Chains A and B, each alone.
Chain A
C-alpha cells in the first residue's frame, strides 16, 4: 500500500511538473535567443535522395504552387497508409519523406518538360514523377490543360539548411538558423506564434532561438490521456456487460430490458464498422441510419424533456416562502417581462422623462450590474478554488484519492 502510494505521489508530481514547466518555460531557450525586426530572409533549402539517383535540391521559398510540401508517411484510424504534411523542423537529415510540388496546370508539353499556365518551365529530375493534382495517383505523361503535381516518393533527406534571417537596424545582424531553432513571431498581446521562415514578412518582430521542446511534446504527453481513455472504453463496456449479464442470470422484473443492451451493442458495433466509409456509399448507409435517424431522434426527445422539467422546477423555485425567494421571484418577473414587447407596453406610458423606470431598462440594469457583479465574484472564487485544488492534488495532499488514510 505504501509503495503504491509512493508511486502515485511520484508520478503525479512529475506529470504536474511537466505541465507547469510547459506553462512557465518560454518556447525558445532564454539567454541565447535573439530578438529583432525582420529585414530579409534567406529561404531554407534541402535535398532528397531516392535510390541510386543523385539528390534533388529544393528551396522553401514563396507562397505559390511550387513551394515544396514535405509529407511524412503515417497510418489513418483504419490502419491504411496516409501522408501528412510536416514542417521542415519536424524532419532531419536521414528522415524518409515524400516531397510534392504543385498542383500546377500544364500549358504546353515539349522536349520532356512542361510549361505551366504561369509561364514557368519544369522538367523532372531522376526520382520524380507526375501525379494527378487532385487524386495524387501516378500519371504516365503530362497532358495539356490538366492539373498535375510533381512528386518524389519516399526519399531520404540528404542535406538540410534551415536558412537565415537578416534583422533590420544599423548593423543588419544576420541570424543563421540551426536544425533545432524555432522562429516565434511576437505579438503586442498574448503569446507569439511559431512561423515558418518563408512566411515571415519585412517588419515582423521575431524571436529566434533553440527550441525548449516543452510545447512540442505537449501533444505527446496529452496522448497518454488519450491512450488511457481509449483503454477505459473497454472497461466501461465490460462493466456494463457484467451488470446486464447478472440481471439476465438472476431474472428480476424487467430483465428483458437487458437483452436490449446486448442487441444495442451489436447494432452499435455494426454501425461503427461503416462510420469511416465515404459518405453516401452503401457501406455507410447503416451507420448513418443508426446515428442520424435513431440516436439523433432519441437525443432530441430527451432534450425536449427539459422543457417539462424546467416548468416543474420553476414552479417549486418561485413559491414565495422566504424573503430571498420573494426577491428572486420579483427580479425574475422583471427580467422576463423586460425581455418581451409586453414589458415595454406596460411601462411606455411613463414617457421619455422616466425612461430609466421602463421595464426593459430595469431588466437590463439587473442583468448588467448586480448579475455581472455576482458572476465575477463566482469566477474569482472558481479560479482560487481551482488553484488550491490543483496544488493539493499535485502535492498529493488529497489523501482520499491518492491512496492515503
Chain B
C-alpha cells in the first residue's frame, strides 16, 4: 500500500513539474458542471439576487471540504467581480472563520475587499438536518438565484437540493459521496461527480501547475487500470478454478 501511495504521489508530482516546464501541453476536457458556475453567478447578477454556497457537512479535516474551499475561492472571486451578494451556510463552527478567510482573500485578490461587508457566513446548527432545513429556508426567504452545494454530504443532501429546487434556484452540486450522487442528479441542474470535485479548483484556476496535478490524477488511474487488467488476466489464466490448464484449453482444438 505504501509503495502504491508513493508511486501515485510521484506521478502527480511529476506531472506538476512537467506542467511547470511545458504549460502549453496540459489539456483538460470541459467539465459541464464547472463551466456552468459562471453562468449561475451571471444569472444571479442579472436577477440582482444572492448566491448561496454550502461547503458540505464536514469540517476542514475532510478532503472533500478542502476541495470545496477551492471552489468557494473561485465563486467568491466571480461574485466580487459581478458585485453579487454571497451567503454561505455551514453546520461546523470551525468552518466560519475558514470560509470567511477564503472569501476575504478572494475579494481582496480581485480588488473588492468591501464585498465582505455585503456577504455573510452563517453557522446554522451542528445538526446536519437542521442546517439543511435552515439553508433551504434561506434559499426561499432570500430569493437565492443560484446555489452551490460542494463537499461531503450524507442523507441530508436531498434536504438541501430539493429545498433549492422548490425555491427555484439554479443548483450546481459536487460531491465525492457516491451514494448521494443520484439524489443530486435528481434535484440539481449540474452535478460534479467524485474525482471532478477534486479537479474543480485546478480547472477553475486554470493555473498550469494545478492542472498538472489533475493530469497526474489521470496517469494514476492509468496505473490502477493496468493493475486491474493484469489482475483479470492472471486470475483468468492461473486463478482458482482456472488453473494453468487455462493455457492448454486456449490452444486445444
Q: Is A389 within 8 A of B187, CB to CB?
A: no
Q: Does A74 make an interface contact (CB < 8 A)?
A: no
Question: Which of the residues B130, B205, B210 comes within 8 Å of A302, measured between beta carbons?
Answer: B130
List the one stretch of A51-59, A90-98, A235-243 in contact with chain B: A235-243
Q: Given A239-B123, A401-B69: A309 and B162 within 8 A (CB)?
A: yes
Q: Does B239 make an interface contact (CB < 8 A)?
A: no
Q: Given A24-B2, A306-B159: A240 and B123 within 8 A (CB)?
A: yes
Across chains A and B, the number of contacting residue pairs, with CB separation under 8 Å, is: 171
Q: Which residue of A lies closest to B161 (CB)?
A: A313
Q: Does A346 make an interface contact (CB < 8 A)?
A: no
**Per-position 1/0 for A227-267, Cβ under 8 A of B:** 01100111111011001000000000010000000000000
Q: Is B214 within 8 A of A388, CB to CB?
A: yes
What's the minimum C-beta distance from B185 to chain A, rounded to whole angstroms? 7
List the one stretch of B39-47, B192-200, B244-252 in contact with chain A: B192-200
Q: Given A243-B120, A398-B201: A306 and B195 within 8 A (CB)?
A: no
Q: Is A313 within 8 A of B158, CB to CB?
A: yes
List the one stretch of A29-37, A159-167, A373-381 in contact with chain B: A373-381
Q: Is B198 within 8 A of A388, CB to CB?
A: yes
Q: Is A382 within 8 A of B94, CB to CB?
A: no
Within 8 A of B (CB), among A212-239: 225, 228-229, 232-237, 239
Question: Which of the residues B74, B127, B132 comes within 8 Å of A400, measured between beta carbons?
Answer: B74
What's the minimum C-beta distance from A376 to chain B, rounded to whole angstroms? 8
Within 8 A of A (CB), among B198-238: 198-199, 201-202, 205, 207, 209-210, 213-214, 216-218, 220-221, 224-225
Tell me the complex Cα distance, A367–B178, Å: 15
List the one stretch of B29-37, B58-66, B78-86, B143-151 in contact with chain A: B58-66
**Per-position 1/0 for B156-169, Cβ under 8 A of A:** 00110110010000
What residues of chain B lie closer than 8 Å to A378, measured between beta carbons? 178, 193-195
What residues of chain B lie closer than 8 Å to A239, measured between beta carbons? 93, 96, 121-123
Q: Does A316 make an interface contact (CB < 8 A)?
A: yes
Q: Is A225 within 8 A of B162, CB to CB?
A: no
Q: Does B155 make an interface contact (CB < 8 A)?
A: yes
Q: Does A122 make an interface contact (CB < 8 A)?
A: no
Most buried by B among A240, A388, A390: A388
Give the total of B residues in contact with A, Cβ under 8 Å. Answer: 73
Q: Does A113 make an interface contact (CB < 8 A)?
A: no
Q: Which residue of B lies closest to A302 (CB)?
A: B129
Q: Given A316-B187, A381-B195, A389-B66: A232 and B94 within 8 A (CB)?
A: yes
Interface size class of A (residues with CB under 8 A): 35 or more
Tell me the complex Cα distance, A13–B25, Å: 29
Within 8 A of B (CB), among A269-316: 295, 298-299, 302-303, 305-306, 309-310, 312-314, 316
Q: Does A403 make an interface contact (CB < 8 A)?
A: yes
Q: Given A235-B93, A236-B93, A405-B109: A398 and B13 within 8 A (CB)?
A: no
Q: Given A314-B186, A391-B9: A375 and B178 within 8 A (CB)?
A: yes
What's the minimum C-beta distance from A331 to chain B, rounded to whole angstroms? 12
Q: Is B183 within 8 A of A313, CB to CB?
A: yes
Question: Which of the residues A225, A232, A375, A391 comes within 8 Å of B213, measured between beta carbons?
Answer: A391
What residues of chain B lie closer than 8 Å to A229, measured between beta carbons? 59, 93-94
Chain B interface residues (CB < 8 Å from chain A): 2, 5, 8-9, 12-13, 16, 59, 61, 63, 66-67, 69-70, 72-74, 92-94, 96-97, 101-102, 105-106, 109, 120-124, 126-127, 129-130, 132-133, 141, 155, 158-159, 161-162, 165, 176, 178, 182-183, 185-187, 193-195, 197-199, 201-202, 205, 207, 209-210, 213-214, 216-218, 220-221, 224-225
Q: Can you list 17 A-B pairs with a CB-CB distance of less than 8 A?
A: A232-B96, A240-B123, A303-B129, A306-B159, A313-B158, A313-B183, A316-B186, A375-B178, A378-B193, A385-B199, A387-B12, A388-B199, A397-B16, A398-B66, A398-B201, A400-B102, A400-B105
Nearest 4 pairs of A and B residues by beta carbon: A236-B93, A400-B73, A385-B198, A381-B195
Given contacts A313-B161, A385-B198, 7 further A-B contacts (CB under 8 A): A235-B97, A239-B123, A309-B159, A382-B178, A388-B214, A397-B16, A400-B105
Chain A interface residues (CB < 8 Å from chain B): 23-24, 225, 228-229, 232-237, 239-240, 243, 254, 295, 298-299, 302-303, 305-306, 309-310, 312-314, 316-317, 375, 378-382, 384-393, 397-401, 403, 405
